[in-house]
Homo-oligomer: A and B are copies of this chain.
Amino acid sequence: MKLKELCEVSGCRVPTVKYYLREGLLHPGAHVNAREADYDASHVERLRLLRALREVGNLSIAAVGNVIDAIEGPSLDVHEVLGSAVHALGPAPVETTAGYAAERAEVLAYLDELGWIVAPEAPAVDLLASILARVRDFWGQGADVHVFDRYARAIDGLAAGDLDVIGDLGDLESTIRRMVVGTVLWDNAIIALRRLAAENQSRRRYTSLSAQASARKRAHHPPPASPD
């Protein structure tokens, strides 16, 4: 197919496709003449992946380049290639003023205890360590890494089901695309569902307590002068 049709089929704009070609993220089409090239299904698949990484994963062009390098690199380990794609998505650690080397070691020991084997450089390890530091900051230094138990157990079961949804390997690029789209959309879906479930639970629990609690609500009367 020609460039115009490739754009229609993939849902990408012409300048975007040309940009991907220049950056080497999309392999060139077969040479037809000085002005035209012929594109095939492999180009459509790659553009779908690039679109997912950019639009859903919000990845920078540099991060997209790393994913494509992993796909085209010499590694024969699918898990490793998938891992590099998912690691590129982040998540970034929660900003924290203190370092959290101790928490990082605790998180790694905890994962070991759960029997979860993950790459120690997975960004989620850093995120979890920074959360543990934050929990201690706000709820006291006694907070233990096992505060995550309830969610860890529930999520372990759900994650196996996620892979069932993603399904068989098939083509590597489409597997990565489904994995990236699934990871990002499901992250957000879980946050949304949890907020809604919490709001519903809070309504059930707290509405009846309102009168009681409103008595505790301080009406403050500022003094006329406000020195500081």
Which residues from chain A sit less than 8 Å from chain B, CB to CB? 3, 17-18, 21, 27-37, 42, 52, 55-56, 71-72, 76-79, 82-83, 86, 91, 94-95, 111, 115-119, 122-125, 127-128, 131, 134-135, 138-139, 148, 150-152, 154-163, 169-172, 179, 181, 183, 185-203, 205-207, 209-214, 216-220, 222-228
Contact = CB atoms under 8 A, between A and B. Distances in A.
B155 A94 contact: no
Contact of A83 (B21, B199, B209): B199
Given A189-B151, A213-B169, A42 B220 contact: yes
B197 A42 contact: no
B210 A77 contact: yes
Contact of A183 (B28, B72, B198, B209): B198
A195 B124 contact: yes
A92 to B, nearest CB: 10
A26 B72 CA distance: 57
Contacts of A223: 28, 30-31
A206 B18 contact: no
A151 B147 CA distance: 21
Contacts of A162: 198, 201
